[in-house]
Structure 1
Amino acid sequence: MTDLVRAAGAVIWRGDERDPEVAVVHRPRYDDWSFPKGKLKPGEHVIAAALREVAEETGLRILLGRALPPVHYLKDGRLKRVDYWTAQAVGIGGLEDLEAVEEVDQVAWLNLDAARRRLTYEWDAGLLRALTAAPLRTTPVILVRHAQAGSRQDWKGDDDRRPLDHAGAAQAETLATVLAGYAPAALVTSPSKRCTQTLKPYATSSGLPLRKEKLLTETHFEPRETLRLVRKLDEPAVVCTHGKVVPGLLDGLCEHRCGDTHLRKGAFAVIHRDGDRLVSVERYVT
């Protein structure tokens, strides 16, 4: 049994969604062309790793889209899994500032046919096919279950005032790093302290206000009204709520296609839509 090596990266595109260009990188050590990627650091979230590796290898700022199928292969006798996302380039930097300049010496923007010819590995050609199999521009709603907040039974005060514990605070910091990749324009939350604290690190770093909605609380949750509230969000948004609310809300958002609608504390689902069309649903833990 081999130990799994985790890595993450992105297929970055720009231009016309119907005829995009994608970024491919050349690594002189291997003399190959591939999509930017790299191994996770200890304790690093897979999405945070993808954002970091893209910045280090290309100097680009990106906006994450839907996840692509992971790639698996053997390297030096160990199984490696690389998670990829579609990503739109929203800012361009210079190679002279890259931390990984020794790993990458060229970044090329190519149309899909040219990229297919340039890429060294067959699995990267598969990623190109997956890239164009669904819309590139989607609007994500990120549904978050609040981070860890100790025990309800051990808390003696008003449950709405129960705060995050140390583990939950760490989850909230991780979540802030991850959310930056989606650049949400709205933060909607239950007024309960454990929910507002879950989004507070990202609210602070982004400067976005927290919009508090009673319909997201356990006591005021109304399935149809709460679902209507969230569906009215027409821009990338984060919605933070409680474990008892998540199943009904997620089931409605994914149009009853999700199967298991449970989320662990601090976990989140990313629901990508193209207008009224559901494109994909992804789940992550922090």
Structure 2
Amino acid sequence: MDTTDETKRAEAVLGEPRVTSAFPPRDTAVGGYLEPIRAGGTVLWRTGPGGGPEVVLIRRPDRDDWTLPKGKLKNGEHLITGAVREVWEETGLTPVLGRRLPPQRYLKDGWPKQVEWWAATPAESDGAIDYKPNEEVDAVEWVPLEDALVRLTYDHDVQVLDNFRAGPAETFPVVLLRHLSAGEKRAWRDNDLLRPLDETGRADALALPRVLGAYGRPRVVSSGAARCTESLLPYSVEADVPMRTERAFTVRGTGRGESAEFDVEAAREAFEGVLSEGRPTVVCTHGELIPHLMREALTRLDAPVSQQLGLRKGSFWVVHVAAGGALAGVERHGIRG
């Protein structure tokens, strides 16, 4: 092949260079990156009088539109708590997060915006709306799902409802938490089961109730190690949820220089039991066991297994399970966002 032919082939394969993005194309920052505005919202749903789903829509008078409740995160705000706060401010209803929905990306005044979405149910048992109209939102209504698809002003909101309709509405969460910061094991001279949280870990333990509270009031099953039970103690007290310790989730080490002891098969069997019971649950355990437990969950739910199953201290997986036992979603977060 001569040089001319090689040039023509390269031009045909490469073509004119262009930027590929999840956001719509724009005329500025070609080939670059614009940090998106981050926002969070929920498809707040309940079963209507006719047995079908109803969802909450809000009307914004300044834009004369009907949309789903959502809003921008404050600087440094956790994605989960920010989404809950925004929905509560716009509807007067506290959402209990269910499965995560695909994010929506679009341009807002020429700048990319990314909205994270969850399915959610109202914490209030009947979902009755008691909201006073204001300058930002002058109407909040429960609307049958099919009617909502017609009433919504924006196509990207319709896509969110389509994503909601495409999956199970009723799910329960299993939260798998790696214990919070407990300092260096090498500096601890007593039995490792007694090693407590350090200052950072204690601060994060106080922040944990708001984050876990976004998923309702999941029960607590913990390793028997002090650093695990201390991680969940503030949540257990504030949510008034008893804590049960599980030996199979406990990594034991009796002193400095001794290797950790744990039983992977016993831990996986215990975690399978948690999944089988079908109840919202938070499990706190150790870094050595996290990958094994996530692999057990994903394999049992007939889902692909990620190559990155481990967690840093103070991070957690949320496995959303449908009522019939199928996987409905997986998300990962840190306590600090």
Q: TM-score band (shorter)? A: over 0.9
**Total equivalences in the alignment:** 283
5 Å-filtered alignment, 1:142-153, equals 142-153=175-186
Q: Is the 8 A contact 1:145 1:267 kept in 2?
A: yes
Match of 1:6 in 2: 38
5 Å-filtered alignment, 1:115-264, equals 115-219=148-252, 221-233=262-274, 234=277, 235-255=279-299, 257-259=304-306, 260-264=308-312
Once the two structures are TM-superposed, the CA of residue 159 in structure 1 deviates from its matched residue by 2.0
State the Cα deviation string for residues 148-198 of structure 1 (Å, max 9, x = none): 222222333322222222322233233211211212341000111111121
Q: Which amino acid aligns with 2:298?
A: C
Further displaced range: 237-246 or 104-113: 104-113
Choose which of 94, 105, 130 in structure 2 pairs with 1:94. 130
* TM-score normalised by the chain length of structure 1: 0.92
* TM-score normalised by the chain length of structure 2: 0.79
1:163 alignment partner, SS class: coil
Q: Which has the higher strand share?
A: 1
Instruction: Tell me the distance in 1 between the aligned counterparts of 2:281 and 2:58.
Output: 32
1:221 alignment partner, SS class: coil
1:231 alignment partner, SS class: helix
Match of 2:314 in 1: 266
Taking a change above 3 Å as real, the CA distance of residues 247 and 74 of structure 1, as seen in their structure-2 partners, is same
Taking a change above 3 Å as real, the CA distance of residues 118 and 165 of structure 1, as seen in their structure-2 partners, is same
Q: Does 1:278 align with 2:327?
A: yes
Once the two structures are TM-superposed, the CA of residue 93 in structure 1 deviates from its matched residue by 4.7
Instruction: Tell me the distance in 2 between the aligned counterparts of 1:105 and 1:265.
Output: 43
Once the two structures are TM-superposed, the CA of residue 72 in structure 1 deviates from its matched residue by 1.3
Q: Which amino acid aligns with 2:305?
A: C
2:266 alignment partner, SS class: helix
Q: Does 1:108 align with 2:146?
A: no
Q: Is the 8 A contact 2:209 2:239 kept in 1?
A: no
Once the two structures are TM-superposed, the CA of residue 221 in structure 1 deviates from its matched residue by 3.3
State the Cα deviation string for residues 17-38 of structure 1 (Å, max 9, x = none): 9720110111112222111111
Taking a change above 3 Å as real, the CA distance of residues 18 and 264 of structure 1, as seen in their structure-2 partners, is farther
Q: Is the 8 A contact 1:54 1:60 kept in 2?
A: yes
5 Å-filtered alignment, 1:63-78, equals 63-78=96-111
Contiguous gaps of at least 5 residues in structure 1: none
2:234 alignment partner, SS class: helix
State the Cα deviation string for residues 192-224 of structure 1 (Å, max 9, x = none): 111112111211111112111111112363233
Instruction: Tell me the distance in 2 between the aligned counterparts of 1:209 and 1:28.
Output: 45
Q: Is the 8 A contact 1:145 1:241 kept in 2?
A: yes
Identical-residue share of aligned pairs (%)? 42
Q: Is the 8 A contact 2:251 2:286 kept in 1?
A: yes
Instruction: Tell me the distance in 2 between the aligned counterparts of 1:236 and 1:188.
Output: 11
Once the two structures are TM-superposed, the CA of residue 105 in structure 1 deviates from its matched residue by 0.9
Q: Is the 8 A contact 1:184 1:238 kept in 2?
A: no
Q: CA RMSD in A?
A: 1.9
1:279 alignment partner, SS class: strand
